[in-house]
Amino acid sequence: MTRSFLIIISFLLCLTGQSDASSAEEKYFETRDRIIHQFEKTGASEDIADRQALVELEKQIRPIVGPVRILGFAEQGKINLETLLSDLIGFDQVDGIRFDSNSECLFVTTSGLLGNYLRRHRNLATDLSELAKDATFYSSVFYSDAAVMNFAEVPIKYDDKESVVNAFLGFVGQTTGHFLPKNLFVFVTKGNRIFMVSSPVQEEINEIAECNDVWGQFEKKASDAFDAYSASQLEDKKALNDFFRYEEEGFEAYKNCFSRKAKNEQFFAPLTGQAQSIVDRILKD
């Protein structure tokens, strides 16, 4: 079975090499989509075939993205796609090259690669200045098993007015709750390329008392709703729905409070400096 999948991949790649596609990006899309379709058609579930397909796609995408030399990151990255098997976690990440350092992660793509992704995901903004603030998009770039949450925008200075630049303080997790943000997310366009960085914050992020109070108010409502649900012998579905609603509303209120108050906290100036340093490293490339 494994050998047959490898033969299929080789055949598809051969066909793509003879394609009349007018660009390397179009050839890449054709190869990627044909392999995905073939895997779905045959019910492929083999790691070896999947890995081999990704190796071949990586060869195609490297010259599309082009060389990347940014201080702190290795020049040799890897394809950002995790799998071409549509039933596995990690399928359908954003096409591009990923560069990992000891702590930071850099993702680089092109406007053509990104445009193809956005056409397939109509829920995302097509305006890059809006997309740069969308935490959902960052999840599709960096994390296949967790969500990025935007807590506070971080101001950036830059001279290149042709570029779209944005940074925010965020959190990565699988559930909402009373969490402190721990990551910086940076978005920079430069010419035809888009650079994104996920970096752990270097400054300790402290609790904000007013925001804790906001969370506490909703936490109390959620707790009361859950107690009512328990007291009903798990029959009161409205109480259960209220519990989840208060938790969700509380998290949104907590984030909104953090967004308003963070700029007045001691940690914010060093945080801004860290984000500025990341942007400067990218724009020097």
Residue 45 falls within a domain, yes or no? yes
Residue 184 falls within a domain, yes or no? no
pLDDT at 6: 46
Residue 168 falls within a domain, yes or no? no
- Please give the order of strands across the beta sheet that includes 183-190: 78-79, 97-100, 105-110, 193-200, 183-190, 165-173, 147-153
pLDDT at 43: 72
- Rounded to 5°, angle at Cα 9 from 15 and 74: 105
pLDDT at 175: 87
Residue 30 falls within a domain, yes or no? yes
Residue 117 falls within a domain, yes or no? no
Answer with the one of 32, 65, 98 that is the final residue of a domain. Answer: 65
Q: State both tokens at 198.
A: 């996920």
pLDDT at 285: 62
Q: Which residue positions in the chain have pLDDT lower than 50?
A: 1-8, 11, 14-22
pTM (2 decimals)?
A: 0.88
> Which residues does residue 7 pair with via DSSP β-bridges, in sequence order?
none
Residue 144 falls within a domain, yes or no? no
**Count of domains forming the chain:** 2
Residue 259 falls within a domain, yes or no? yes
pLDDT at 42: 81
Residue 93 falls within a domain, yes or no? no
- One-character DSSP codes across 68-99: ---TTS-S--EES--BS-TTSTTBTPPSSEEE
pLDDT at 284: 85
**Structural domain of residue 54, as residue ranges?**
1-65
